Amino acid sequence: MTKEPVITLEEIEAALEGRVYLVSHGGVGSEELTKKLQITYPKILVGPEARPFRGAFVHTPMPPRHGSRMGIYLYGELYQAIVSQMRRHPGNPSKLKNDESYPFIHSIDEMSRIQDDDPFGIATQFNNFCKADVSYPIIYVKRESLKITFPVLAELLGIQNPENWEERERSTKLSSLTDSERGKLQAIYGRLNTLMSEYPDIAIQQGSNLSLSYNNPRRSGFNRLISHNQFILKIIRILKKLRNRVKIVLGFTS
């Protein structure tokens, strides 16, 4: 069967010219964050199923190569995110795989029966965004640190008097999984879950323009960053406010 994409890269790049976007693997509050950061998308239909652009794009597996002003990639809380989507958005794997024919996933048992090392599509998306070679900055934000990093994102986007980020209790509990389900989930995504947990709370990437790193939140000051991009310098200035509270990396690579 020929793969039919949910959305094409050409459609994405045309729609996001000069815009800020937010992408996630789902199940991490990206819809609420998009609203609070006042990120908007054009009201157009895309793909063979004529989906609204926002719905087709927000879990795309590949960042646009150029044209966007800035990207935000939200990731983390992997097990919770997967289980939550099975209950609320079982069709999201088709967006992460960018394949209209990809099956819905309603349970861990269903996921474990799919002959694919990455049945939900999250590992591929995470790898694609971490190694992105794009012409604009991407900010990587870990879901677990969002309460701390949200004010910085709001300032970066010039939002006046932003709302506070309020954590909501998840309705989906990992404690409700059976030992068998938990074992299957860990067998498929345990390595990725460990990798995400080791990654920084917030990071910036823009190809070769960012090659120095700040990995230790206890170390005073930042290495001098060689860059002529004023927008990048604005990001660095704002992120300095977090240096003693979260782990920050400049020049993000997986």
Chunked mean pLDDT (size 10), the chain, 254 residues = 86 95 96 95 94 96 92 95 95 97 96 96 94 86 88 85 80 84 96 90 64 33 36 65 56 48
Which token pair is 205? 């990437």
pTM of the predicted model as reported, rounded to 2 decimal places = 0.85
Helical (H) or strand (E) element with 72: strand 70-75
Please state whether 237 falls in left (phi above 0), alpha (psi between -120 and 50) or beta. alpha
Block residue for tokens 């209790």: 169
Q: What 3-state DSSP class applies to 241?
A: helix
Q: Are strands 248-250 and 202-205 parallel, antiparallel or unpaired?
A: parallel
Rg of the chain (C-alpha set): 18
Q: What is the predicted pLDDT for the residue at 243? A: 56
Residue 220 has what pLDDT?
31
Question: For residue 233, what pLDDT is reported?
Answer: 64
What pLDDT, on the 0 to 100 scale, is given for residue 80? 94
The amino acid at 199: Y
The pLDDT assigned to 1 comes to 54
